[in-house]
Amino acid sequence: MYVFALEQKLTQAAKAASTARRGAAFSEQGRDASALLRLQRAIGNQAVQRLLRAIAEQRAPGSTTTASRTPQLDHPIFRPLRSNQERPRSGTQPPAQRGSTPAKKPPRRKPFIIEHRSGSTIQVPGLDRDESEFGAGGATSSLMAPAARPRQGRPITGGFSDDLRVDTAFGTGVKRATGPEIKSLIQSAGSRIDPHLLRAVRKVSTDRFVFRALRTFLETDKGRLVAWKNGGRYLGNKRPPTIYVGTAGGALDTHVTLVHELLHYVFDKADTVLGEVRDSGGADHPAIDAIEERFLIIDLIRSGQPPFHKKTRWSFGGYLKGQDYFPAMEAAIARNDPAALRAAVDDAKFVRTTVSSGVLTPASFLKFPAGPTTYHPTPDQLRDLAFIWAQNAVIVRRAMKTAATVSTRTGTPLKDVFAHSDFQQEMATFLRRFVGALRRDRTRGVVSLERRL
Ligand SMILES: [Zn+2]
């Protein structure tokens, strides 16, 4: 997932590089070309090539989140800039690295470093070098911070009547909507929900927060949900506002795409900086990727499977120096080796590696100059992204340890144990307590919260 937005930057920069070689000096393209060179220096040319290869793989037919025949997919490359979107205003961007001196300088901290497999490094402002807990930055999420002024010329505005808890509870299934509530929502929306999406709507809206977002979309903004083949798209400018959801990838991919597009609506509706500023890849994508992945991981676990999917393949160190935990976990399950599975997720670097994989792309954006098409995430936003990726890490850690325990206790092979009723019950209890604990104590630390439960 996280390669999408980076792909956009790379393609932009690569195009610009070829233009620049043809002599277009002193231009936006020239700057983008030098950005590509800087990125190659930073993460290595091989890494850039690898990312482009990974992107090509993700374009395989049947992939719901990527390119396809139609140019209208929710893919940065095919997504035109919203023409009436305002340029970022002062106050929505972090101060420039050089040339501006903030009035109050925070104490200097040693930065968190991501070590790329190529040997190059990326700094993550907002996280300390030895960060190990990854608590949120404050009582409310910087990812949901409102833009300085309401947007002009875009119809979706006004926020939500209650807190959707996007960075802790949204899509976790911990708080449920009732059957009659969902039925009534579907009835009142009538033909504005494509019949091909009814099952997906019923499924994802069992989560209370997804339900509330969907209800506001359908009832307040009179939105439409339309099925198509691959990928997805949120069109908040259209009347009525429309979400397109590809169904060709099967039920799970349809659910994930629906949640992804609905999150675009949430960031738009709440008039957040991330929904507001101009960024050619969509400034809300890093946040949506993290939340979407949490939804996917929990959906897989609750449906009796390990959290392995093409979208989680690169989330556990695949691009980084050191261990890639994804194949390690897969191999332990295939060998039916509970001790090895437990050892993989209990490794001291497991959470740090998962967080690093998650924030790699948004932190890489800092290597491009901020400008009218490139938004720089703030240190607070990077911290709050890490907060969500750390949740994803400890949910997987807990799932694997629970799988190992139940497997040993009941004699069930690891490959089958995720569907065992003991596993399901223990994980449901854990998720309920964990999400509740995050609400009460967001800033203390995700890793120790999991250990205490
Ligand atoms: Zn998107």
pLDDT at 198: 98
Question: Can you tell me the distance from the alpha carbon of 96 to that of 292, in angstroms, rounded to the nearest whole number?
Answer: 30
| Pairwise CA distance, residues 57 & 436, whole Å | 38
For residue 426, the CA-to-ligand 1 centroid distance in Å is 33
Structure tokens at 5: 């937005």
Calculate how far, in angstroms, residue 277's C-alpha sits from the geometric centre of ligand 1: 15
What's the gap in Å between 416 CA and the centre of ligand 1? Answer: 33
Q: Cα 337–341–347 angle (5° rounding)?
A: 145
Q: How far apart are CA 143 and CA 215, in angstroms?
A: 22
Contact criterion met (CB below 8 Å) for 200 and 254: yes
75 Cα: distance to centroid of ligand 1 (angstroms): 7
Q: What's the 199 CA to ligand 1 centre distance in angstroms?
A: 22
Nearest in space to 2 (alpha carbons), one of 310, 311, 261, 296: 311
Q: What is the 278 CA–ligand 1 centroid distance (Å)?
A: 14
448 alpha carbon to ligand 1 midpoint, in Å? 32
How remote is the CA of residue 384 from the centroid of ligand 1, in Å? 19
Nearest of 290, 210, 289 to residue 201 by alpha carbon: 210
Domain ranges of the chain: 2-78, 110-140+279-453, 148-271
CB 151 within 8 A of CB 145: no
Instruction: For residue 233, report the distance from its CA to the centre of ligand 1, in Å.
Output: 7
Q: What is the 184 CA–ligand 1 centroid distance (Å)?
A: 28
Ligand 1 centroid to 260 CA: how many Å? Answer: 6
Helix residue ranges per DSSP H, 313-420: 325-334, 338-346, 350-365, 379-410, 414-417
CA of 62 to the centre of ligand 1 (A): 17
Which residues is 146 bridged to in the sheet?
Answer: 272
The 8-class DSSP code of residue 377 comes to: P
- If you measure from the C-alpha of residue 411 to the centroid of ligand 1, how many angstroms do you get, rounded to a whole number? 42
pTM for this model (two decimals) = 0.80
DSSP string, 87-150: PPPTTSSPPPSSS---SSPPPP-PEEEEEBTTS-EEEEEEEETT--S---SSSS-GGGPBPSS-
pLDDT at 11: 53
Distance 279 CA to ligand 1 centre (A): 12
Burial (CB count within 10 angstroms: exposed 0-12, middle 13-18, buried 19+), residue 69: exposed
- What residues does the ion ligand 1 have nearby, CB within 5 Å? 74
**pLDDT given for residue 9 in this prediction:** 54
DSSP 65: T
The CA 261 to ligand 1 mean position distance, Å, reads 6
From first to last of its 453 residues, what are the pLDDT tens digits of the chain? 344 445 555 555 544 444 433 332 223 333 344 444 445 545 554 445 444 443 433 333 333 333 322 222 232 322 222 222 322 333 333 333 333 444 565 566 788 999 999 888 999 999 999 999 999 999 999 999 999 876 676 789 999 999 999 999 999 999 999 999 999 999 999 999 999 999 999 999 999 999 999 999 999 999 999 999 999 999 998 999 999 999 999 999 999 999 999 999 999 999 999 998 888 889 999 999 999 999 999 999 999 999 999 999 999 999 999 999 999 999 999 999 999 999 999 999 999 999 999 999 999 989 888 888 889 999 999 999 999 999 999 999 999 999 999 999 999 999 999 999 999 999 999 999 999 999 999 999 999 999 999
What mean pLDDT value characterizes the chain?
A: 82
**Cross-strand partners of 371:** 374
CA of 371 to the centre of ligand 1 (A): 21
Q: From the CA of 253, how far away is ligand 1's center (Å)?
A: 14
- Among candidate residues 333, 314, 338, the one with its CA nearest the CA of residue 324: 314
Contact 242, 226 (CB under 8 A): yes
Ligand 1 centre distance from Cα of residue 300 (Å): 21
Residue 205 Cα to ligand 1 middle (Å)? 19
| Sequence-separated (6 or more) residues with CB below 8 Å from residue 241 | 155, 156, 217, 221, 222, 223, 224, 234, 235, 265
Q: How far is the CA of 264 from the centre of ligand 1 (A)?
A: 7
**Euclidean distance between CA atoms 28 and 25, whole angstroms:** 9
Question: Measured in angstroms, how far is the CA atom of residue 339 from the centroid of ligand 1?
Answer: 39
For ligand 1, the distance from its centroid to the CA atom of residue 285, given in whole angstroms, is 6
CA of 289 to the centre of ligand 1 (A): 8
Instruction: Return the pLDDT at 44.
Output: 52
The rounded Å distance from CA 4 to ligand 1 centre is: 9
290 CA to centre of ligand 1 in angstroms: 12
